[in-house]
Amino acid sequence: MMESDGSIPAQIAGALRSPIVPSAIGDLATAGHYLETVWPQLQPSVETAGFLGSSLYMADMALDGVEEAYEPLLSRESLLESALSAADLDQLVAVLDVFHWVQPQLLLLLAALAETWEQPRVGGLGRPDRREPSEREANHLATTVQLAPDDAGPLPEIARELHLAAAPDLYRSVAVWPGYMAAAWDELRHLVAYPDFRRRSRALYFYARSASRFLARPLEASREQLREQGLSNADLDRARAVVDGALPALATMMMHCAAMRLGLGITAREVVAQE
């Protein structure tokens, strides 16, 4: 469980109910006082039921897309026979549930920031109803998420596939179990070849961009507005590079997380009723 140090990145992690500071948020913290400027505007919207509902709808979208494109070879039984103990499997399931919950929220948050680069105002159409505390989110905050070194197992290959300098948190957290990571990546790396997988990943990206208009509070964080608040061009370039690089990777990570959960037999939807 992460202990909040009161910093803006820790506040954002807490609002997303994440036990770790997402790496994209940590990277944004290097862009001058960008986070200090935009987070007070975003926080009221993140704390609404509508924000969480839109995020979990995207988690269901990811699972639908994965089920159309992927039939896993891995199973709980095969993993228990070869790669994981029962305790390891329980912890893996808990860690994946954290990312299943946090990643779509992070995608929606970053998409709103991307939408506002060239616009004076984004959002304001959402309902202000606050999200209620839940036992599941309390469990997420209490879950231990360890991150493997950047060079562990297939992590360098994953970073290259995603066109990133280093593998994101999802894969580093799973690489703590090397046998599972190797077997899972051997299946996941082929998914991008399926047109349905690529289409759904793009749909998640564009849905998040469109859904930013339903933030409960308007966000005013265009480049011009932020420059007027004292951010340098270098800080703004850094922030934009982080956001633009993280968004497509997050959409792919949501699909991969859904695929890993599917391989463990987890098919429950969050907000969309199954027929």
56-72 pLDDT, tens per residue? 999 999 999 999 999 99
Residue 193: per-residue pLDDT: 86
**Alpha-carbon distance 255 to 59, whole Å?**
8
Gyration radius from the chain CA atoms: 18
The larger pLDDT score, comparing residue 63 to residue 3, is at: 63
What's the whole-number average pLDDT of the chain? 95
In the chain, the percentage of residues whose pLDDT exceeds 90 is: 93
Q: Check if the beta carbon of residue 124 is closer than 8 Å to that of residue 160.
A: no
Q: Check if the beta carbon of residue 36 is closer than 8 Å to that of residue 48.
A: no
15-29 pLDDT, tens per residue? 999 999 999 999 999
130's CB contacts (< 8 A; 6+ apart) are 47, 48, 49
Single-letter amino acid, residue 103: Q
97-133 pLDDT, tens per residue? 999 999 999 999 999 999 999 899 999 999 999 999 9
Domains of the chain, by residue range, sit at 8-149+184-263
14's CB contacts (< 8 A; 6+ apart) are 4, 141
CA angle 212, 214, 217 (to 5 degrees): 95
Under the banding of pLDDT at 50, 70 and 90, the label for residue 5 is confident
DSSP state of 219: B
Rounded to two decimals, the pTM is: 0.95
